[in-house]
Amino acid sequence: MKRVAVIGASLAGLRSVEALRRLGHDGEIAWVGAEKHLPYDRPPLSKQVLEGRWGSERLFLRQNYDELEVEFHLGRSAARLDERFVELDDGRRVEFDGLVVATGASPRQLPDGRDLEGVFTLRSLDDALAIEKKMQRGPRVAIVGAGFIGLEVAACCRTRGLEVTVIESAAVPLGQAIGEVLGQCVADLHRSRGVDLRCGRTVTGVEGTERVSGVRLDDGSLIAADLLVVGIGVKPNTDWLDGSGVDVDDGVVCDATCQTSRPDVVAAGDVARWHHELFDESVRVEHWTNAAEQADAAVRRLLEPEAEKKPFVSVPYFWSDQYDTKMQMAGRYRPGDEMRWVERPEDASGDDKPRLVALFGRGGRLTGALTLNRPAKLVRYRRAIAERVSLDDAL
């Protein structure tokens, strides 16, 4: 394989380029990225950056790129995929023999108010720096969506003493990700820190002329706001693949080895949807660890198409820092899964930090574990999930 193109200057894109060189690819590498920045670490954007503790210089994932010998196309988006080239948004063509799709995802927008000053989504470094600058003025903050991004933004704002209202359409935060019982624990955490959490409510309109002044809810109430952060999920960046022969369904559809419907194309990171053999389901995972690990698996599949097909079965893992609480989860949760306590919040004693350990099971097998401020235990449960331990044995 003479020339490989990597589309996406994300974590998955960087790890793909590094894997290409580490695994012996000595041909050309063309690397396309929509942002002008070199790859940087995204998790701190909604944590250390918004708290004002980190500047952008601490985020970049690599200092030396010379040894990778890549042909950069930064600040350019992929517009179309043909049989042997990717057409960029400026009309240039990037030819390839093998292609890694690592284009990530883009935040979903509210249908109303996106052009007003003070309305933001948080996905990029530029987003985070703009929000942090606005936070310095002491605004009233409204956040739409009590997912991980919305809750981390809320925690940063409250840590800086700002007035915060979070609007969530579901009954509890994170219900689809960790279940209603644990979602209620997260709700209690934020309310105890002074967040006005409005669950079961939707936004019907954004108020303001040139700049945002508030959001109107479906119960008729008006939430005054000078800063509005929208965190209602993301959409995989796949529009450029229309008509390319690469199957797309809420992400780039892959088999268990990260191979797409085209033999010369693999995918990794937030954009990839693949059959996860450990859980026997089609998944798309939007977390840091998955992007790093899956890139390596995808590149191996691309470089060794005739080798034994090894499924990518890494156990998903994520963490979220909210106030002085570290939430960590391994595995998968689906509504209807069985949940069992190992350590309840009321069991904690001696300090004010919430602590809990909960396990999830499906068909009698351990499929997930969630902890608050119990990092050592999470490591053990992640290993047990990979080993297909029963829920009873895990307990």
Domain 324-394 in the same topology as domain 109-230: no
Say if residues 328 and 177 touch (Cβ distance below 8 Å). no
Quote the CA–CA distance of 39 and 269 in Å, as a whole number: 14
3-state secondary structure of 269: helix
Closest CA to 7 of 91, 110, 95: 95
Query: Which pLDDT value is given to residue 361?
Result: 97
Query: Which pLDDT value is given to residue 307?
Result: 76
Query: Which pLDDT value is given to residue 334?
Result: 94
The fold adopted by the segment(s) 109-230 is FAD/NAD(P)-binding domain (3.50.50)
The DSSP H or E segment spanning 175 is: helix 175-178
Say if residues 323 and 155 touch (Cβ distance below 8 Å). yes
3-state secondary structure of 228: strand
- Output the six-digit token pair for 62: 């690599």
Number of residues that this document lists for the chain: 395
Query: Which pLDDT value is given to residue 1?
Result: 87
Question: 324-394: CATH homologous superfamily?
Answer: FAD/NAD-linked reductase, C-terminal dimerisation domain (3.30.390.30)
Say if residues 327 and 370 touch (Cβ distance below 8 Å). yes
Q: Name the one residue in this structure whose structure tokens are 């106030």.
A: 323
Query: Which pLDDT value is given to residue 62?
Result: 95
Strands 85-88 and 93-95: antiparallel
Residue type, 357: V
For residue 90, the tally of other CB atoms under 10 A from its CB is 10
Say if residues 36 and 60 touch (Cβ distance below 8 Å). no
From first to last of its 395 residues, the chain has per-residue pLDDT tens of 899 999 999 999 999 999 999 999 999 999 999 999 999 999 999 999 999 999 999 999 999 999 999 999 999 999 999 999 999 999 999 999 999 999 999 999 998 877 899 999 999 999 999 999 999 999 999 999 999 999 999 999 999 999 999 999 999 999 999 999 999 999 999 999 999 999 999 999 999 999 999 999 999 999 999 999 999 999 999 999 999 999 999 999 999 999 999 999 999 999 999 999 999 999 999 999 999 999 999 999 999 987 778 899 999 999 999 999 999 999 999 999 999 999 998 876 556 688 999 999 999 999 999 999 999 999 999 999 999 999 999 99
Quote the CA–CA distance of 69 and 353 in Å, as a whole number: 48
Quote the CA–CA distance of 381 and 395 in Å, as a whole number: 10
Give me the residue spans of the domains in the chain.
Answer: 3-106+235-303, 109-230, 324-394
Query: Class assignment of domain 3-106+235-303?
Result: alpha beta
Quote the CA–CA distance of 42 and 356 in Å, as a whole number: 26
